[in-house]
Amino acid sequence: MNQISKTYKAESVELDAGSRTILSVINSESVDRDREIVQPKGLVKSKYEQNPVVLLSHDFRSLPIGTNLWIKSSRENGKDCLIAKTYISDKTQMGRDVFALFQDGCLNAFSIGFNAIEAGPPTPDEIKSKSFYAGADTVYRKWELLEYSPVSIPANPDAIAFAVAKGFDDKILEMMQKSIPLPEKYKLNTHCVDFAKGLIHAKRVNDGIWKWDTETQNELLGNPPNYESYSKWFLAIDPEADPKTKRAYHFPVGCRGEVYLHALSNDESRAATNGYKEIEAAAHSLFALASALKSTAEYDSKVMDIVGKLNADAIIKQAIAKIIK
């Protein structure tokens, strides 16, 4: 089973600068974007408590940045969740940087890594008891916590601190121990790469707020649905999914005729977390290209603004405009 990461923003992270501790939700019962639920009550932590390390972005090859002090059950927004108290060490530069980023609000999400023990589709009783279970395809009812990490990934629609790197089976654990890259589930969508490059060269780049929700997805899909057009907005394709469903497409690069810098940055981070090397490289290259051309476009715009204010004849202004183009 591949490692999958899920992301939820920490709306109310509590920090104690004196003790260098962070209190936040690390797991919620909500249905995630993959239509899955990880039940907080299914946590098995006996082995984790023997070595409660906290890594940065699931990097098991590097030294830990801190340790877990405790994990407790709670409720947020009417749903079960897990709250963790995390100590971030000041003995390394990485630890100091991570805590400073939390203090500045630049870092606010955690991701848990676990091995699934019991999982399956939601039962009629679960749906009857909690209607939102009807929106899930899979429910993880028992799972073993391996580690959790601060991650630089943006929020999901639930806006709760929750990100999951899930599905570590014995084969994956063996690969991790041997430092072998995880196998890729998703394949790079080269049509998206070409499409995004075209938008970037046409200076259709947006560095504003990136919002990815159901409304945006439906807008891209159109009515009636056009999956051929929809697919070109995604860097990754799930070869095992029906191409006539939204679940076949992942890592969006933009919407409404524009490539979003924040979308590409998000894609690169998520791909790196999951070990999708081709997708990570594509997102990185597109981000670099978009950033460079956007900077050039802004510079050109400022030059033309200055030229427009100059006391020069039309021929000179036209010549300068041609040089810029």
Between the CA of residue 189 and those of 58, 250, 305, what are the distances in Å? 26, 10, 39
Task: Please give the Cα distance from 62 to 283 (Å, whole number).
Answer: 24
Between the CA of residue 229 and those of 111, 203, 213, 218, what are the distances in Å? 32, 20, 18, 12
**Residues near 257 by beta carbon (within 8 Å), at least 6 away in sequence:** 199, 204
DSSP secondary structure string for all residues of 176-211: HHTTPPPPPSSEE-HHHHHHHHHHHHTT-EE-S---
Between the CA of residue 279 and those of 15, 103, 191, what are the distances in Å? 34, 31, 13
Task: Please give the Cα distance from 163 to 8 (Å, whole number).
Answer: 5
Token readout for 259 is 């490539």
Q: Which residue has the tokens 């790469």?
A: 193
The candidate with the shortest Cα–Cα distance to 162, out of 92, 74, 250, is 74
Give the global pTM.
Answer: 0.49
Q: CB under 8 Å, gap of 24 or more: what pairs does 278-285 form?
A: 278/184, 278/187, 278/188, 279/184, 279/186, 279/188, 279/235, 279/236, 279/251, 282/188, 282/193, 282/235, 283/235, 283/251, 283/253
Token readout for 243 is 């191409």
Positive or negative: CA dihedral 151, 155, 160, 163: negative
Cis preceding-peptide flag for 224 (omega within 30 of 0): yes
pLDDT on residue 17: 66
pLDDT on residue 176: 41
**C-beta neighbour count of 272 within 10 angstroms:** 22
pLDDT along the chain (325 residues), means of 10: 44 65 85 81 93 86 90 84 89 91 81 83 92 88 88 43 39 43 71 94 87 85 93 93 90 94 85 80 87 60 52 51 48
- C-alpha torsion 43→49→51→52, nearest 10: 70
Positive or negative: CA dihedral 171, 175, 177, 182: negative
Beta strands in the chain (DSSP E): 4-5, 14-16, 21-28, 36-38, 43-44, 53-54, 66-76, 79-88, 109-120, 138-151, 164-166, 187-188, 205-206, 234-237, 249-252, 254-255, 258-260
* Domain segments of the chain as ranges: 4-177, 187-300
